[in-house]
Amino acid sequence: MVVEERARKNIGELDSLRRSIEEMGLLQPIGVTKDLTLIFGGRRLQACKDVGLEEIPARIFDIDAVETLKMKQEENKDLTPVEQTHLAMRIEGALGNRRGQRADLLPQDFAEVPQGESRAIAAEAVGMNRESYRQAKAVLKSDDDQLIQQMDRGEVSIHAASSHWTGLLMTVSK
């Protein structure tokens, strides 16, 4: 089983899930690709490992990289702004630098990609608008850990965090 970087950075408390699995078994299978890369069910997988299960039910999906990332987002509806932005960046990277070009000109594994710009498709896939996604990416690239954490906790809006960072850049460059 291959477990790539997960959208959710904090898997949270697993005690109740472990107890449930011990008492009733795994009620909902995990999702994997044909090559056994985990799509969704990271918390379930970890809880199963913790209780010592060696085999668990899994549903296998024959889908491309973009659909895999969209499924990960669908499974993780309550992502923080930073998690949303990281997932959108992965979707954007999987799409490549599309600027609305025809889908038939894309590589084979992206045959069913919607029309449009990569950034807009990625933002929509994680429930963000294009401008919020652009701003959140800028904040992440700032490497200002305090500002990123404030944005992620909802103490500062994405727009305010971006404006703060942009303001700092303008002050420094004068």
Residue 174 confidence class, pLDDT cut points 50, 70, 90 = very low
Q: What is the pLDDT of residue 100?
A: 54
Report the DSSP beta bridge partners of residue 30. 58
Are 56 and 45 spatial neighbours (Cβ–Cβ below 8 Å)?
yes
pLDDT digits (tens, 9 = 90+) for 6-18: 656 677 788 999 9
pLDDT at 23: 92
The model's confidence at residue 160, banded by pLDDT at 50, 70 and 90, is confident
Q: Residue 2: exposed, middle, or buried by beta-carbon count in 10 A (0-12, 13-18, 19+)?
A: exposed
Average pLDDT over residues 141-158: 88
Nearest Cα to Cα of residue 21 among 7, 1, 41, 35? 41
Q: Looking at this protein, which amino acid is placed at residue 82?
A: V
CA distance 67 to 92: 12
Q: Which CATH number fits domain 15-61: 3.90.1530.30, 3.40.50.150, 3.40.630.40, 3.40.50.720?
A: 3.90.1530.30
Report pLDDT for 167. Answer: 54
pLDDT of residue 84: 84
**How would residue 171 be classed by pLDDT, with cut points 50, 70 and 90?**
very low
C-alpha span between 153 and 138 (Å, rounded): 17
Domain boundaries, the chain: 15-61, 65-173
pLDDT band at residue 5, thresholds of 50, 70 and 90? low
Q: Which of 41, 47, 18 is nearest to 28 (CA)?
A: 41
